[in-house]
């Protein structure tokens, strides 16, 4: 009997420690040093059959205010179909954050997207998705949260939505955004917080897109723990209630989720869509977690235009 009790205590302790570890280490920011001069990135291309090919390696040269310029591996300037502007702005605590504004060269954008990335990496790593959307004619602003990329401060779950709200306020105030439709496009963790960001000031954005979003930290932790997910639900902290927040939002919502997503199960995406109010739309895709812009940029673009009647 004592052995069983001891085993149960040990098992419970393991789950408590695992849950605490989840709370503390869930964010995995790709922090970049302020003195970084060069970064390297593989460039992907999707062919007509939907296959992604890695064509070449870009060299990203970092200048003043983290402004990037792009060359090939030999140092030759690249002739790209888009421009990238490095932006510095502040959150409400005065922390200096960095973001990239990506614009198509050969189009006058009618729609601006605030693209909120997920738990890992930084804008440099995630920019391939913003570029894919810019190639559809959108201007895309991608901010890095506190402690991510070149942004100052500490990466915490509490800072992420506050930083995203600051990015929305900053973006709304830009002259090149004033005459466009402004939408929030969140992916993974970014999608989880998108309703909260959208409702921070409902007048700033006309709608929101949620791709690969999870309904709660508890549910996401339980999914990854598996059989003993109940323990994760007990000990993982929750920030806010997505379902209640969605019920308060009355502007257009587009939910995108992959039936091949092994990070956030498709069932969560379907429930998020059910919880959202009209007007809403659901787009089920395949492929990997939050890879929609890489494989379905044209179809996603059509649905975004439907949201704003363009």
Higher per-residue pLDDT: 115 or 234? 115
Asked if residue 33 belongs to a domain, the reply is no
User: Helix 2-25 and helix 217-225: axis angle, to 10°?
Assistant: 130
Mean pLDDT of 172-201: 97
What is the CATH classification number for the domain harbouring 220? 3.40.50.1820
- Is pLDDT of 219 > 90? no
Asked if residue 67 belongs to a domain, the reply is no
Mean pLDDT of 151-161: 95
Q: Which of 73-77, 223-227, 299-303 has the lowest mean pLDDT?
A: 223-227
Higher per-residue pLDDT: 99 or 243? 99
- Is pLDDT of 227 > 80? no
The structural domain count of the chain equals 1
- Look at residues 257, 269, 251 and name the one whose alpha carbon lies nearest to residue 308: 251
- Is pLDDT of 67 > 50? yes
Q: What are phi and psi of 16, to 5 degrees?
A: -65, -45
CA distance 174 to 66: 19
Asked if residue 37 belongs to a domain, the reply is no
Asked if residue 11 belongs to a domain, the reply is no
Asked if residue 58 belongs to a domain, the reply is no
Report yes or no: 96 and 151 within 8 Å, Cβ to Cβ: yes
Mean pLDDT of 56-68: 92
pLDDT level of residue 115 (50, 70, 90 thresholds): very high
Report yes or no: 58 and 131 within 8 Å, Cβ to Cβ: no
Q: What is the pTM of this model?
A: 0.88
- Cβ neighbours of residue 107 closer than 8 Å, sequence gap 6 or more: 137
Mean pLDDT of 278-284: 98
Q: What is the mean pLDDT of the chain?
A: 87
What is the model's pLDDT at position 217? 72
Asked if residue 52 belongs to a domain, the reply is no
Asked if residue 112 belongs to a domain, the reply is yes
Asked if residue 9 belongs to a domain, the reply is no
What is the model's pLDDT at position 236? 74
DSSP classification of residue 149: B
Place of tokens 């002259």: 175
Q: Domain limits at 103?
A: 81-308
- Is pLDDT of 177 > 90? yes
pLDDT tens digits for 12-53?
A: 444 444 444 444 457 889 999 999 999 988 766 556 666 655
Mean pLDDT of 134-156: 97
């Amino acid at each position: 009997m004592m052995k069983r009790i001891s085993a149960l205590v040990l098992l419970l302790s393991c789950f408590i420690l695992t849950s605490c570890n989840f709370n503390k280490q869930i964010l995995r920011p790709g922090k970049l040093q302020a003195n970084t001069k060069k970064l390297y990135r593989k460039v992907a291309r999707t062919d007509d059959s939907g296959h992604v090919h890695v064509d070449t390696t870009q060299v990203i040269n970092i200048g003043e205010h983290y402004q990037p310029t792009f060359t090939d591996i030999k140092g030759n300037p690249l002739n790209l179909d888009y421009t990238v502007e490095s932006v510095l702005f502040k959150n409400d605590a005065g922390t200096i954050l960095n973001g990239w504004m990506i614009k198509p060269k050969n189009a006058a954008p009618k729609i601006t997207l605030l693209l909120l990335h997920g738990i890992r990496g930084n804008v440099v790593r995630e920019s391939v998705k913003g570029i894919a959307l810019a190639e559809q004619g959108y201007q895309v602003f991608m901010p890095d949260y506190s402690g991510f990329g070149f942004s100052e401060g500490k990466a915490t779950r509490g800072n992420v939505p506050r930083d995203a709200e600051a990015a929305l306020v900053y973006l709304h105030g830009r002259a090149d955004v004033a005459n466009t439709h402004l939408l929030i496009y969140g992916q993974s963790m970014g999608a989880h917080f998108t309703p909260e960001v959208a409702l921070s000031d409902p007048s700033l954005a006309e709608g929101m897109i949620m791709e690969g979003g999870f309904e709660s930290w508890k549910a996401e932790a339980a999914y990854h723990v598996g059989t003993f997910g109940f323990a994760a639900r007990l000990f993982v902290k929750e920030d806010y209630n997505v379902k209640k927040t969605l019920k308060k939002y009355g502007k257009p919502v587009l939910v995108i989720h992959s039936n091949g997503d092994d990070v956030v199960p498709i069932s969560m995406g379907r429930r998020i869509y059910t919880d959202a109010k009209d007007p809403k739309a659901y787009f089920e895709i395949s492929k990997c977690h939050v890879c929609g812009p890489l494989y379905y940029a044209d179809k996603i673009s059509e649905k975004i235009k439907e949201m704003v009647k363009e």
